[in-house]
């Protein structure tokens, strides 16, 4: 009786089990390469982010806003007025809201001399109905709002146990809740067109509750930062990746709002011009987070990993030192 020959080596037939083994190995190799690719992509994006955060002014190209419509709350004076001037020089059309009627007319006259279109409206940002009415007027007169800059804010200082309840409510209403109302008025059109840009002028106090006598203010700014992060997450989950969000977090700079906080701080106070330089740079580069001064990016990155005891030493050392001098 003849014994059947068995094919050996490369001529051996591949069984179904062999096919499965090969397929599983290829699958594992594919997954490994995918993981490596993802890791490299994350590293690359981190490097790009660091370069963007620490690049000098004007290092990266700016988006073209000529003919675009920008709405700025608190646009009659201070930082809002300076942002308006810078964006006007870039060819933007402007819609300015403020409760200071005289300041609005002064701003309108000065800006129109630069050859730009300016719509103004006196608005009490603490009045939800006034916001709705002003928004309807802006949509009618100016059309689509390409860039919304939530700049209006209030600074009420003092220890929590000493600050009046009404003052705390006013701080949260203006610095936090208004972001909801403005988003409800202008975000739907941005989502419909999958384009637009929302900017929040928050504060470094929205990342670090570092100074004494500023708890209500910092809490309100933390809220603004959270709203911006949440809105961005929502739009991405909706597949609307054309809508941009920029949160600006400056440290102390010289404005009436800073004076009102009464922080008793010895820290160096920046000029409003320094802040507006980096604010406009961040807006025109569509940065997600703009921290001024830029060295605070490092502190922000360390916040999540440093022990609480170390953070307390860093954030309260000035106040404790002043207390010990008394």
Residues with a known catalytic role: 217
Question: Order of strands across the sheet with 69-73?
Answer: 118-122, 93-98, 69-73, 147-150, 196-201, 243-250, 289-292
158: phi > 0 → left, psi -120 to 50 → alpha, else beta; which? left
Nearest to 261 by CA among 217, 291, 206: 217
What length is written for the chain?
326
- The residues, ordered by sequence, that sit 6+ positions from 119 with a Cβ below 8 Å of its Cβ are 94, 95, 96, 138, 141, 142
Structure tokens at 50: 């660091």
| Cα distance between the two ends of the chain | 111
Contacts of 269 (CB under 8 A, 6+ apart): 252, 253, 254, 258
């Amino acid at each position: 009786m003849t014994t059947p020959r068995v094919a050996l080596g490369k001529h051996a037939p591949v069984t179904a089990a062999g096919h499965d083994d090969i397929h599983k190995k290829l699958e594992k190799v594919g997954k490994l390469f995918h993981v490596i690719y993802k890791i490299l992509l994350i590293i690359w994006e981190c490097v790009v982010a660091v370069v963007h955060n620490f690049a000098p002014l004007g290092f990266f190209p700016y988006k073209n806003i000529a003919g675009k419509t920008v709405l700025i709350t608190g646009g009659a004076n201070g930082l809002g007025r300076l942002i308006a001037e810078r964006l006007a020089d870039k060819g933007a059309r402007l819609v300015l809201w403020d409760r200071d009627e005289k300041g609005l007319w002064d701003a309108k006259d000065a800006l129109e001399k630069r050859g730009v279109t300016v719509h103004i409206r006196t608005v009490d940002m603490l009045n939800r109905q006034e916001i709705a009415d002003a928004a309807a007027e802006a949509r009618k007169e100016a059309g689509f709002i390409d860039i919304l800059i939530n700049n209006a804010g209030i600074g009420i200082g003092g220890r929590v146990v000493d600050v009046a309840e009404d003052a705390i409510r006013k701080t949260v209403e203006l610095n936090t809740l208004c972001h909801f109302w403005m988003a409800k008025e202008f975000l739907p059109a941005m989502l419909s067109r999958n384009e637009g840009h929302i900017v929040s002028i928050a504060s470094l106090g929205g990342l670090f509750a570092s100074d004494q006598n500023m708890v209500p203010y910092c809490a309100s700014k933390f809220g603004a930062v959270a709203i911006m992060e949440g809105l961005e997450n929502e739009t991405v989950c909706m597949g609307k990746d054309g809508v941009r969000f920029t949160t600006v977090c400056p440290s102390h700079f010289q404005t009436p709002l800073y004076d009102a906080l009464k922080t008793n701080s010895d820290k160096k106070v920046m000029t409003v011009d320094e802040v507006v330089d980096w604010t406009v740079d961040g807006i025109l580069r569509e940065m997600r987070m703009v921290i001024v001064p830029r060295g605070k990016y490092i502190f922000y990155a360390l916040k999540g990993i440093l022990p609480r005891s170390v953070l307390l030493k860093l954030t309260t050392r000035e106040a404790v030192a002043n207390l010990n001098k008394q």
